[in-house]
Amino acid sequence: MQEGWTLRAFRVAMAAALVWLVAGLTAGSLTGAYHGLFAVAAGDPYCATLRTLAVVGVALLLAAIGTQANFRDFAQLVYPLMLLGGYRLLSDDLRQDRKTTLFLSLLVYGATLIALPRLRRARANS
């Protein structure tokens, strides 16, 4: 069945709103748990790394479920979400003063960029 571009744009926009909510809740939960565990010793650079981890984790989740028929609109949001993660790296993670956290953020982001095409191709072939 053919559907118009306005309906498709609306579905992608609703999927983007849901993804934005899930990424925000994931990042907030991770940083909240981190601050709960380490209290005063918790530093902002590690929270920035956790938020980057949340963004790329949601992108991996979208790539994993995006090949199923009911979730095809989510697959279109994988690379825009990775662009958001790249923006986070440039604006937030690079400004932090800890080299360890920057290394971890770059490692997670780079590994995700390598894994995404393979994951999408493997899921499409199965």
What is the pLDDT at residue 41?
Answer: 64
* pLDDT one digit per residue (tens) for the chain, 126 residues: 457 888 888 988 998 999 999 999 999 898 888 888 877 666 678 888 888 899 999 999 888 888 777 888 888 889 999 999 999 888 888 887 778 888 999 999 999 999 998 887 766 676
Residue (of 104, 27, 102) closest to 59 by Cα position: 27
- pLDDT (0 to 100) of residue 123: 64
CA atoms within 13 A on the CB side of 46: 13
pTM of the model: 0.82
Calculated CA dihedral for residues 91, 83, 50, 104, nearest 10 degrees: -80
- Taking a C-beta distance cutoff of 8 angstroms, is the pair 89, 105 a contact? yes
